[in-house]
Structure 1
Amino acid sequence: MDIQAIHRVQLPFPPALRQQVARFYGELLGLTSMPPPAGAVLRYAARGQRVDLVATEAAPPPPAGLTQLSFEVQGLPQLRRRLLAAALQIEEHQALPGYLRFFVHDPAGNRLEFVEPDVD
Structure 2
Amino acid sequence: MLNGLHHTQLAIPPESEPAVRAFYGGVLGMTEIDKPPVLATRGGCWFRSNGLEIHLGVEQDFRPARKAHPGILVNDIDTLAKHLGEHGIEVDWDDNFPGHRRFYVHDPLGNRLEFLAPTPPA
TM-score range normalised by the length of the shorter chain? 0.7 to 0.9
Aligned to 1:8: 7
2:50 equivalent to 1:54: no
* Larger deviation, residues 91-100 vs 106-115: 91-100
Aligned to 2:47: 44
Question: How far did 1:82 drift?
Answer: 1.1
> What SS does the corresponding residue of 2:90 show, helix, strand or coil?
coil
Residues 30 and 88 (structure 1), Cα distance of their counterparts in 2 relative to 1, 3 Å cut: same
> What SS does the corresponding residue of 1:15 show, helix, strand or coil?
coil
- Deviations along 1:69-89, one digit per CA (max 9) or x if unpaired, are 110011111111111111111
TM-score by length of 2: 0.85
Aligned to 1:102: 103
> What SS does the corresponding residue of 1:92 show, helix, strand or coil?
strand
- Deviations along 1:43-78, one digit per CA (max 9) or x if unpaired, are 11132342110122211233x4x2311100111111
Q: Are the equivalent residues in 1 in contact too, given 2:95–2:101 (CA < 8 A)?
A: no
Taking only aligned residues, the RMSD between alpha carbons, in angstroms, comes to 1.7
2:77 partner amino acid: L
Aligned to 2:113: 112
Q: Are the equivalent residues in 2 in contact too, given 1:11–1:54 (CA < 8 A)?
A: yes
- Structure 2, gaps ≥5 residues long: none
TM-score by length of 1: 0.86
- Structure 1, gaps ≥5 residues long: none
Question: How far did 1:94 drift?
Answer: 4.2
Structure 1: how far apart are the matches of 2:63 and 2:45?
18
Q: Are the equivalent residues in 1 in contact too, given 2:12–2:64 (CA < 8 A)?
A: no
Identity, % of aligned pairs? 31
2:60 partner amino acid: E
1:113 partner amino acid: E
Aligned to 1:28: 27
Question: How far did 1:100 drift?
Answer: 1.2
* Structure 1 residue ranges, 4+ long, deviating more than 3 angstroms after superposition: none
> How many residues are aligned here?
117
